[in-house]
Amino acid sequence: MYFIGIDCGTQGSKTVILDSTTNKIIGKGYSKHNIIIEKDGVREQFAQWWIDAIEKSIFQAIDSANINPKLIKAIGVSGQQHGLVPLDNEGNVIRKVKLWNDTSTSVENESIINTLGGMDEVWNTIGGTLPIGYTASKVKYLIDNEPELYAKTKYVLLPHDYINYYLTNIISTDPSEASGTGYYDVRTHKYSDKMLNVIDPTGALKSKLPKVYNWETPIGYIRPEIAKKFGFSKDLIVSAGGGDNTMGAIGTGSIIPGFCTISLGTSGTCCFASKKKNDHIHKLIQIYDLLNDKYLCTSCILGATSSTTKIQELFSLSLNEFDTLMNKASIGAEGLLSLPFYDGERIPPIPAGQGIIKNISASNLTKENIIRSTAESIIFILKNGYNHMIKSFEEPSEFIVTGGGSNSEPWRQILADIFNKKINCLKENEGGALGAAIQANYLYNFSKNKDTSLIEIIKSNINYDTSKVKVPIKENVKLYREYFRLFKDSIKNEWGVDV
C-alpha cells in the first residue's frame, strides 16, 4: 500500500510517497516558495504559492514513483507552524500569510502577556508558553491594525489547516497545530476561553476557529476535483496531519521514548516526547499536544541554516567550500564570537535582537572564523534550550540530527562536541513529509481496525546512515564548555537577558 506525505515548509513544499510494504520512500517531489521580507520583522507569503508548489511536487512524486495513483490509500500534511491564514465566507484567503518567523507582532504579543498578568499566568491559562511568532499575536495584530479584514474573516486557519481545506473542503486542525497558536490549552485539549477573550474581548474569535481532529480520526475524503486532477481514488482519506515540528518528530523517531531530534533547517529545533507534561519547566519551552496524553517538548530558534546561508551568500561560497572553511578554523574561532540573531530570537527572548560579531582582532578576522563561530553559536543556542528542557524532563539517550544542516560533516561534529552526545543521521532525511506519510499509514490501518501501533510503524521506517555518525571528542567537549559560558555571558551583556 502507498501513502503520501506533504510538507509545506518555509522555503518550499515537498511530497513523498511511502510504500508501507517495503518501508521505503519510492517517490519524491519538491517545488520552491518565495518569501516576502520587509523591515520590522515582516515575513509573509501568499497561500496560493503553497498550493502551486504542492501540486507540482505531487505530480513529480507520482511520476518518480511510477505507480497508479489510485493505489494511494491516504494523505497526511505537515506544515510550517504558527502562521495566520484568514478566510472569508467563500473560503478565500483575504491577506498575505504572516509566517512563524514574522516578529512584527512583538507589541501585540507583549500586550497579550501583560493583559493576562505575565508569563506565569500564560502558563496557568494554556499550559504552555507564548513566544513571539505564535498565532495569537498575529490575530491580535489583525484585530488592532486591520479591523476591516478581521470583520470579513470567517475562519482563522494555520498553513497546514489551509492545505487540508484545499484537499477536502473541510475546516479542521489537529492538537499539535492548535498547541502552537497560543490560545489552546494543552492540558484540557480545548481552546482556552480566557485567552480567546484577551485576544478578542468581543468573543467573536472562538466561532472562527477550526474543529480539532485527533490523529485517529480522518478529517474527510479528497475532493472529487482534486482526485480527478491527480488520478487519485475518490475514497482517498486525508489524515489530520500536523505542524512540521510534530510531523518531523514522527518522521525522525523523536516521539519514541528516549529519542531526541535536533533539526538544523531554516529554523533550529530540539525536541523529545514526554508521557506526562511537567508544569515546572522553563517558561519559553514549547509544549505540543500529540496523542494519548503524550506531549512534544520543544526548544525552537528562529535561525539555523537561514543564518549560515546569509554568511555563505556574503562570501559567495558553495556548500562544500563553506564546510571546508568551517573545518579549517579552530574550535572557538580564535576568540571571535558571532551572535547570529539576524531576525531576533525566541530563546533567548530577544525579538528585536540583531546580529553581532565581536571580539574581532587583526589576526582572527577571517572567513573561516566567522563561519565557524556562526555554526558554533547556533548549536550553543540549541544547547541552551535543551539544558532547560532536561531540568524538568528525563534526559533522552538517542540523538538524531535532521534538516539541511545535518549534511554538513563539520557541523555534525560541532553538535556532538557541544551536546557531548553521539549524533546519528537518517538514511532518508525527509522529516515532516515522511512523518505525515507515516501518520496517514497509521490512520488508514486504524480506520480498517487493523492491530497497529504508531510507534512500531515509526520504528520500521527509521534507518541510520552509519557513515555519518559523530561521537564527541573529549578534548573538544572540555573546550566548548568554557566557550558556551562565554557565549551566554555575551548575550547577557548585550541584551540583559539571562540564558
Looking at the structure, tell me whether residues 166 and 126 fall in a common domain: yes
Looking at the structure, tell me whether residues 141 and 233 fall in a common domain: yes
State mean pLDDT over 81-108: 97
Last residue of a domain, one of 218, 240, 262: 240
State mean pLDDT over 251-274: 93
Q: How confident is the model at residue 350 (pLDDT cuts 50, 70, 90)?
A: confident
Query: What is the per-residue pLDDT for 278?
Result: 62
Looking at the structure, tell me whether residues 71 and 98 fall in a common domain: yes
Q: Which residue has the cell 551583556?
A: 493
Last residue of a domain, one of 199, 214, 240: 240
Q: Report the alpha-carbon distance of residue 173 to residue 160 in Å, rounded.
A: 8
Note whether residue 436 is domain-resident.
no
Note whether residue 462 is domain-resident.
no
Query: What is the per-residue pLDDT for 184?
Result: 98
Look up residue 116 and give its three cell numbers.
493576562
Q: How confident is the model at residue 499 (pLDDT cuts 50, 70, 90)?
A: confident
State mean pLDDT over 79-84: 97
Note whether residue 431 is domain-resident.
no
Task: Say what percent of the chain tops pLDDT 70.
Answer: 99
Q: How confident is the model at residue 279 (pLDDT cuts 50, 70, 90)?
A: low
Looking at the structure, tell me whether residues 198 and 259 fall in a common domain: no
Number of domains in the chain: 2
Q: Which residues pair with 493 in a beta bridge?
A: none
Last residue of a domain, one of 188, 212, 240: 240
Note whether residue 453 is domain-resident.
no
Q: Buried b vs exposed e over 413-447: b needs ≥16 C-beta within 10 Å?
A: bbbbbbbbbebbbbebbbbbbbbbbbbbbbbbbbb
Looking at the structure, tell me whether residues 225 and 304 fall in a common domain: no
CATH of the domain at 308: 3.30.420.40
Note whether residue 340 is domain-resident.
yes
Look up residue 446 and give its three cell numbers.
486504524
Q: How confident is the model at residue 277 (pLDDT cuts 50, 70, 90)?
A: low
Tell me the per-residue pLDDT of 209-239, one tens digit each, with 9 for 90 and over.
999 999 999 999 999 999 999 999 999 999 9
Q: Report the alpha-carbon distance of residue 26 to residue 158 in Å, rounded.
A: 29
Looking at the structure, tell me whether residues 284 and 235 fall in a common domain: no
Which residues constitute the domain of residue 61? 2-240
Flag whether pLDDT at 276 surpasses 70. no
Looking at the structure, tell me whether residues 343 and 419 fall in a common domain: yes
Instruction: Using alpha carbons, list the distances in angstroms from residue 436 to 45, 59, 402.
Output: 22, 18, 16
Flag whether pLDDT at 265 surpasses 70. yes
Looking at the structure, tell me whether residues 340 and 214 fall in a common domain: no
Flag whether pLDDT at 493 surpasses 70. yes
Supply the residues annotated as catalytic. 244
Q: Which residues pair with 312 in a beta bridge?
A: none
Note whether residue 297 is domain-resident.
yes
Query: What is the per-residue pLDDT for 283?
Result: 79
Looking at the structure, tell me whether residues 192 and 298 fall in a common domain: no
Looking at the structure, tell me whether residues 201 and 257 fall in a common domain: no
| Mean per-residue pLDDT of the chain | 95
Task: Say what percent of the chain tops pLDDT 90.
Answer: 86
Looking at the structure, tell me whether residues 128 and 259 fall in a common domain: no
Note whether residue 263 is domain-resident.
yes
Query: What is the per-residue pLDDT for 429?
Result: 82
Note whether residue 246 is domain-resident.
no
Looking at the structure, tell me whether residues 227 and 85 fall in a common domain: yes
Query: What is the per-residue pLDDT for 244?
Result: 92
State mean pLDDT over 135-163: 98
Tell me the per-residue pLDDT of 407-453, one tens digit each, with 9 for 90 and over.
999 999 999 999 999 999 999 888 899 999 999 999 999 998 888 88
Measure CA 70 to chain center: 31
Q: How confident is the model at residue 405 (pLDDT cuts 50, 70, 90)?
A: very high
